[in-house]
Each structure stands twice: as structure tokens, then as C-alpha cells.
Amino acid sequence: MTTVTTGRTATRRQAGLTALYLGVFATLWFSVPKADPPLDTVLVVASVAALLTAVAGGVVAARARGVDAPPRDRATDRRYLLVVVAEFAAAGLGAALLGLVGWSAFIPVLVSAVVGLHFLPLAPVLGDPLLRPLGLAVCLVALVGLVAGLVSSGSMPLVVGVGTGLLLLGHALVALLRARAPRP
């Protein structure tokens, strides 16, 4: 997600890295669903917007490098790494199991739920309280996608991909706005 720091308010570098990472992941989520025209064009536009947001975040992070970054905290770094490793392990193992039992259509729902859940313990680690509502919203998208998939074939990846992508892109844009906010 972002650089691990000890401060409660996000630094410009943190905000830039948040926009960078979430912009990249939003781009990936927009590529999950297969859609017919004109929705396929909308997904391409959303992917480009997310990618441009990621680039802008990278520029912000690069320009702020060393300017306002507090010293790194090893304990915080370890907590961050533990959460991210647990996220990747849960998503990877869950996806493998779903694939083995022939339920691969449910993989986007599982991964979205795991992504949403991982934001909850990251909020205090990264000092970003907005990660909690983001995490809950992503979990809600996973649930809606599951229900949509159970009642309609083919809609699960669309609901989960677009919903998760929009939420990540929205948070990335908010991070860029926070980076531009005047410092107290």
C-alpha cells in the first residue's frame, strides 16, 4: 500500500504511494470483467484513468522523497509486512482451492473480500483511518458480487471488478487530494 511511517497524518510521500499502488490495483480490477460494447470501452477508460492516477501518485511520491518522511519504524514495518503476506497467502490459497474444486468463477469474490479485509488492520499501521471504510466497502462489493453471481451467470466478475476498481480508484484520488492539501 504505502510507506510505513509512525505519524498519524499521511505525508505527501505516503499519499503519493497510496495513489500509485491503488491506481495500479484499480487498473487490474477493471481488467477482471469481460464486457460487451459499450461497457468494454468504459472499462478501458476507467483503466486508463486509474493508470494515470498511479503515475500521478508516483510523481508525488518521487517529488516528496525525503522531504517530509518521518524515520521508519521497524515494528510498524513488520506489522505491515505480516498483513500483506497474510493477504497474499489467503487470496492465493483460497483461489487455488476454489480452482481445485471447480469453483474458479468465485475467485474474484474471494480476492475482493480478502483485499477488503486486509485494509482493516492496515488502517492503524499506516495511520490512514479512511482505509477502514474502504475495506468495508470492498467487502460489501464482494458480497454483492457473490449474490449477483448466484442469481445471474456472468455478472459476478463484472460487479466485483468494477466495484472494487472504482473504490480503489476513488481512494487513490482522495490520496492525491490529501497530498495537495496545504500542510499545517
List, for residues 107-127, the tens digit of each pLDDT value: 999 999 999 999 999 999 988
Compute the distance between CA of residue 51 and CA of residue 69 in angstroms, rounded to an integer.
25
Sketch the domain layout of the chain as residue ranges.
12-180
Kindly tell me the burial class for residue 76, based on how many C-beta atoms sit within 10 Å of its own C-beta (0-12, 13-18, 19 or more).
middle
- φ/ψ of 31, rounded to 5, equals -90, -5
Predicted TM-score (pTM) of the model is 0.89
Kindly tell me the burial class for residue 75, based on how many C-beta atoms sit within 10 Å of its own C-beta (0-12, 13-18, 19 or more).
exposed
- CA 26 to chain CA centroid, Å, is 6
Q: What is the pLDDT of residues 48-107, one digit of tens each?
A: 999 999 999 999 999 887 665 567 788 888 999 999 999 999 999 999 999 999 999 999
Is-contact 80 4, C-beta < 8 A? yes
